[in-house]
Chains A and B, each alone.
Chain A
Amino acid sequence: MARLTTPFAKAKHNVEPTKDDKDNAQKAHLEVRTHLERDPTLQSYGIDTVLIGSYKRNVSIRRVKDVDVLSKLPYLLGNCDPRTLLQQFGRVLATAYGPQRVELQDRSLKVDFPTLDLTVDVVPARPSLARPNSGYIEIPDKNGGWQETNPEKLTELTSQMNKHYGGEYVPLVKLIRQTRRNNLDKRPGGFFFEILTYHAAMSGLGADSDESLFVSALESIARQLHDVVVLGAPVPDPTRPGECIAIRTTAAQMTAAERTFRELAAKARQATKNTACEAALAYQQILGRNDDGETVFEMPAACNSDGTEKQLIDPKRGALNVPSGTKRFA
């Protein structure tokens, strides 16, 4: 029988961005997009802004720190230098927000919203020159060139996968991102683990309970990390068949991630064999606290905080039954 349904539901709730998070993110990205779309130069490139990233795919976890805005420029000339383009974006945004709030990065511009405690990353993009009409786009890379990508496809794939898992895929991604945040340093990042979760889901996860879904996803991710670190296997990009994900991480960081997730998966698998209270304690340790300092996985009502069982009234002994039975009057 399924168990720990309620603590898992609460855990999903506890990693969910708050209403303030969502409101702030919306306010910030709408404002930035309006400034960009009003600029005459960018208008001449046919600017069309869309949301991408974890916020768009609804896989952000509390707190939402950044929102990604893709600025598609369909009329941009093929010989355009990405650095020049980024500077053009920088001028538009600096005019709107002041230079202190706009930071030029390798491949995007970061606009700071200090009062909202978040940033908006603006990523310029043009249609793929190599594969025109494919839907693929190119964005600046850190070496001053262009890099092919297909971020909107991931939004579509996420939605399809979520439907396939009866709405449980997106919450699972959030729990995996929370697990990463609680157990690893900055790299590898949440996006990388989202892709690993996608591959895990593609391979088929135990979906008869929240517990089996979570544990089987952890095990699949641990196996994929093992293949990356030990076998040097690439991670396929689900949005571009035949291509792989570019991983911005050091070997040491990847090795640490592999070791950590191997241990977490083993711990979770062992938990499935233990009592519900012992298992709950294990999941609590794996998921840790959210950015508001709240415990993500709360102990079930029947369990003490140390994973032992509470002495409760046993309904099987008839504690809730009325001794005199039905048809009573008083």
Chain B
Amino acid sequence: MSTLSDSIAAMREAFIDEARTHGFRLDSDCTALVGDIDIGDQQIEHQIKLDDDFPIRMPRVSTTSGEGGLSWHRESDGSLCLWSSDEASDLPWQSARKLIERITEWHKQSVAGWPDDDPDLDLERYWQPARLSELILYPDLDGLVGRDCLARRKHGGRVLRVDLGKAPTSQQRQRSWGVAVVDVGELAQPVRDFDQLEQLLPARCAGEARRGIEQGRIRILIVRYQRQGHDAALALYAMSRDTRELGAAESAHTGEQTHYVRAGLDAESLLHKKVAIIGLGAVGSSTAELLARSGVGGFTFVEHDQLRPGNCIRHITDHNYLGWNKAEAVRKLLHNAQVIDESCIHVIEDKLTSVDDVEQLFSTHDLVVDATGDNAATALVWMASEALNRPAVSVCLQRGGSVARVDRTLLRDGESHAPPIPPGGPHLDLREGGCGDPISPAPPWACLAAASRAVGMATDLLTDRNQYPPTHIDSLIGDPNATEWE
């Protein structure tokens, strides 16, 4: 055995010794401990099952006679849910004492009805997993409950899309399946099988669902439920015509609310903002993507350059867009990824040289981001910003990509920008065939880091938090000459 596996085995043995001290006995195959725990005025026998990955994973604890009742705090195998994954960075179950204290607390909470319960929306945990490889996608369910629905399987796809539609004939069932959508309302306890589900449904609805499954017309049953007012849905897949053979399938909601729930807390306010990005190269393309994914609702991209094969290693687009204008390529990419509709992005396939054009950008956008790395363009943006009293952010990498720098315009009282960073970094003369500027040795991750910082500053301005200093410098790659500019 390795030191690591020995160490883990030793921790396991230490836990067992400690549990033994608390009166637990180890079973003959050394995988479970059984013992009594004082719960209130009674002793309840518990089993602590130690899987192979203990103590990295939590032990499975259950009452040997089922005490504690069924609740949202029990797994489908009857074991107690003692810690959520984000409560357990220090693996508290390594200590038998802490585990027993937690079990005691679990029972107290169970008797009290879990008054401070977080409404976990995880009904699928209480069902056997479905033998279905596809992901079931469903839209907002309001218009689907109690109506004829079907799930369409796309050729070669990995998804089944649920929508309104007549149940397919037996010949059509290769491509699509009948779906029933039911609503059981607020759930006090997890529903664990079809018989329990039937009790919660109107008789007619329950009967139709049962007949549909038994006759093979319904293969997917979507159960909408609420916990403490939060909506959720469980997709059940009929693995046979026996209602006992319903399994929880992987499923997801396709509506906008779900789309933006992971976009960050600013997404809602950013939806009404428009940002102009000048320069859609390595840093600018990532800046555009991150701002769009964070919720910004409208853009103008300004870029004159075409995408070349060598660009693809640092650009968010790929070889499918070779020869495209970089701004146009980014617009298409974001549209195809369903991040933002292409109609919300205006593209200017040109260099920004006209003062009128710059004035137009500032007047029609909430923020202008300069990601050109071009002194002339940056100077023009800077002057226009000051003159028009409209905000701008400029982002670049310096010293061969070892430093990311972001500046904003419109200094507030007492503020000043950091002095320029002296030139330096790796002395490499990287060039591609033909005439053109030397190629920066900045690695892709440095471009993304610079873009991320620019988006941080942009979001700060767009949300009026105004917490960012006028200059933000990140030292990305260790630089022995850093004292020259720090």
Contacts and interface: CB of A to CB of B under 8 A. Distances in A.
Contact of B91 (A13, A209, A320, A324): A320
A301 B17 contact: no
Contacts of B17: 1-6
A328 interface: yes
B9 A320 contact: no
14 contacts: A1-B17, A2-B18, A3-B17, A5-B17, A5-B26, A6-B13, A13-B28, A13-B30, A301-B1, A301-B6, A301-B9, A302-B6, A321-B89, A322-B89
A210 B340 CA distance: 67
A2 B6 CA distance: 20
Contacts, number: 88
B13 A302 contact: yes
B169 interface: no
B90 interface: yes
Given A2-B17, A312-B10, A320 B94 contact: yes
A313 B9 CA distance: 11
B18 to A, nearest CB: 6
A107 interface: no
Contact of A312 (B7, B18, B90): B7
Contacts of A9: 26-28, 30
Nearest to A324: B89
Interface string B431-467: 0000000000000000000000000000000000000
Contacts of B90: 318, 320-322
A310 B6 contact: yes
Contact of B18 (A1, A168, A301, A326): A1
Interface size class of B (residues with CB under 8 A): 20 to 34
Nearest to B5: A301
B68 interface: no
Contacts of A57: none
Contacts of B25: 166-168
A315 interface: yes
B89 to A, nearest CB: 4
B16 interface: yes
A46 B86 CA distance: 71
Interface string A134-175: 000000000000000000000000000000001110000000
A308 B228 CA distance: 57
Contact of B30 (A6, A16, A328): A6
A312 B3 contact: yes
Interface residues of A, number: 35
A10 interface: yes
A318 B91 CA distance: 10
A312 B6 contact: yes
A74 to B, nearest CB: 39
Contacts of B26: 5-6, 9
Nearest to B87: A326
Among A5, A16, A166, A300: residue with most chain B CB under 10 A: A5
Given A5-B16, A302-B10, A302-B13, A311 B28 contact: no
Given A310-B3, A320-B91, A326-B88, 9 more contacts: A10-B30, A301-B13, A310-B6, A313-B3, A319-B7, A320-B56, A321-B89, A321-B90, A324-B89
A300 B13 contact: yes
Nearest to A166: B25
A325 interface: yes
Contacts of B210: none
B12 interface: yes
A10 B26 CA distance: 10
Interface string B80-107: 0000001111110010000000000000
Contact of A13 (B19, B29, B56): B29
Contact of B13 (A5, A319, A321, A327): A5
Nearest to A7: B13
B59 to A, nearest CB: 14
